[in-house]
A and B are shown apart, each in its own frame.
Chain A
Amino acid sequence: MDIRIRNIVKDFGRTAALEGVSLDIASGELVALLGPSGSGKTTLLRIIAGLDVPNGGQVFFGDEDASHTPVQHRKVGFVFQQYALFRHMTVLENIGFGLKVRDGATRPSAAEIRRRSLELLDLVQLQGLERRYPGQLSGGQRQRVALARALAVEPRVLLLDEPFGALDAKVRKDLRRWLRAIHERTGHTTVFVTHDQDEALELADRVAVLNKGRIEQVGTPDAIYDRPETPFVFRFIGESHAVSVQVREGKVWLAGQPILMAAGGIAEGPAELHLRPQDVEFAAHAADALPARILSVRRSGPTRRAEIRLSDVEAVFEIDAPAALTVRPGEERPVRILRGRVFPAA
């Protein structure tokens, strides 16, 4: 089922949570809503589910305007951050709940409910745990039960709120891969909320980056990472530092030197250059390079992370250097900017 979100506005009293958000989600797509806390991502998810009512705008499920459909009839599968399992019911009763509460004609027989619940238990790889209570399961297992319970109602869309937020790093990685596999098998249109950019980029077909109640950019993980459209997206995805620059004659000038980069349609005048640690390298010669002083060096995985200060502009940022290169704090070393993104000054 494809979902179209049109111009959703939501405020909680005086604070605006969403300021006119529109988003199209194709059938079978896996979309991440990514943003810092307070960006409105969870509110948007809850509005799609019908758990929150927007002040304006519409939500379409296919051609149906679902804006006024109560949550009970929207047929969404919602996985809560803390799972919200029914603690007094066994795992199997939890999974079968959505089928059991259907009325009269649409309710499957008890045997059918049991059969389908067991099937889902299989899908989430928890065979043999059907008689356990949620309190007897680990966090990762509860998460799987919550997913199976949401899938049992044959939802038109699957919505997950910070699905891996409460789990430790190792379990998180496993579940991420596993969720992707489940999505490929079941093909549900899926939207999940996360504040973890790695999670969003690794798992989603497309990522919508939210900030302060607005969508900053929607795109594939590659587009979001390689071609951020706003300074916020650049800053939020991956590490970055900003340096003040000047745009003149179609070139970008830093400390009175043109750097190897086209200004790309940015208006003449002051601008901001955003750099990732990989975008700068130590230069062998002073020619065509910017003088810099090394402030500190530390080991970071396969590379060395050096904090440097550009001598002429008082800008401090971090760069990645090969581990083989020995650099010491206090040393003067010229650096060369390889890439970067220029945005108009804020």
Chain B
Amino acid sequence: MRPSRRRSVIPGFGISAGITLTMLGLIVMLPLAALVLRAGAAGPDGVLRLALEPRIFAALKTSFGLSLAAAALNGIFGVIVAWVLVRYSFPGRRLLDAAVDLPFALPTAVAGIALAALHAPNGWIGSLFVPYGIKIAYTPLGIFIALVFVGLPFVVRTVQPVLAEAEQEIEEAAATLGAGRVRTIFTVLLPPLIPAILTGVAMSFARGVGEYGSVIFIAGNIPFVSEIAPLLIVVKLEEHDDAGATAIALTMLAVSFLILLALNALGSWTRRRYGHVR
């Protein structure tokens, strides 16, 4: 299929499309296809039966549930962080701005060990909660915190540029028309940000589902309680249960794909609804 015949300054639809398809095919689709093929040996029934096995099902629930919860929280805090970084200038703002990316750069195992040490019952933060009977490390709460940590930069970095482009006069206009602060935030400022927030949340969620290194140190990895699906895959592989490992992987792939598809659909709907950017 050819795009419009209008000449553009940079020609070469053919070559760029070729490169795109080759890259996507080799780097993304091929490994996934191999996964599907491997699991295919067990047949769809086999995969489903394995996925519904209680321990695996519990791990999948933990992974997806906590990833969604962490992504949702990041959706809120990421916007606030982005807001502070864009709107206010204060000493150390650039440092803080750079620090947002640290969860990207830090080896995940390092982050996991640090978080576990902090939130353990004898750690700086963990010990504060001991008197209230709240345990953070080695529980799902610990997993949640690790996932918030690794996912936060996604929301901040997708929202930041959109926020930077929004004119400050918009808020002033709302104020002269009589709108209070809360209403200005929710009816004037937030709606145009929703598409970007959803994109960030989707990326944060995707990262959370696949996250391994930072979680296993803080999770405690107790079956049925704080065991995540990626860990279970490793466990299955160590037990030479390749069929079980591929079944979990395939299930994760399918569920992730569906959730990301839904988030993207929601994103493009809100973009049509709210995204009337000049």
Contacts and interface: CB of A to CB of B under 8 A. Distances in A.
Given A88-B192, A102-B178, A51 B278 contact: no
Contacts of B276: 87-88, 133-136
Contacts of A98: 177-179
Contact of A76 (B174, B176, B275, B278): B176
B175 interface: yes
Contact of B172 (A75, A77, A78, A86): A78
A317 interface: no
B161 interface: no
Interface residues of B, number: 23
Contacts of A102: 178
Contact of A97 (B167, B177, B274, B278): B177
Contacts of A134: 276, 278
A86 B173 CA distance: 9
Contacts of A51: 172, 175-176
B176 A97 contact: no
B259 interface: no
Contact of A49 (B170, B176, B178, B274): B176
B167 A72 contact: no
Contacts of B175: 51, 71-72
Contacts of B44: none
A80 B177 CA distance: 12
A188 to B, nearest CB: 14
A284 interface: no
Given A72-B180, A101-B183, A87 B277 contact: yes
A72 B179 contact: yes
A85 B169 CA distance: 9
A265 B105 CA distance: 78
Contacts of B169: 80-82, 84
Contacts of A76: 176
Contacts of B188: 86
B178 A77 contact: no
Interface of B: 167, 169-170, 172-180, 183, 187-188, 191-192, 273-278
Chain A to chain B: the 8 pairs with minimum beta-carbon distance, closest first? A98-B177, A84-B169, A133-B276, A84-B173, A88-B274, A78-B176, A101-B179, A135-B276
25 contacts: A49-B176, A71-B172, A72-B176, A72-B179, A75-B178, A76-B176, A78-B172, A80-B169, A82-B167, A84-B169, A84-B170, A85-B173, A86-B170, A86-B188, A87-B277, A88-B275, A88-B276, A97-B179, A101-B177, A101-B178, A101-B179, A101-B187, A102-B178, A134-B278, A135-B278
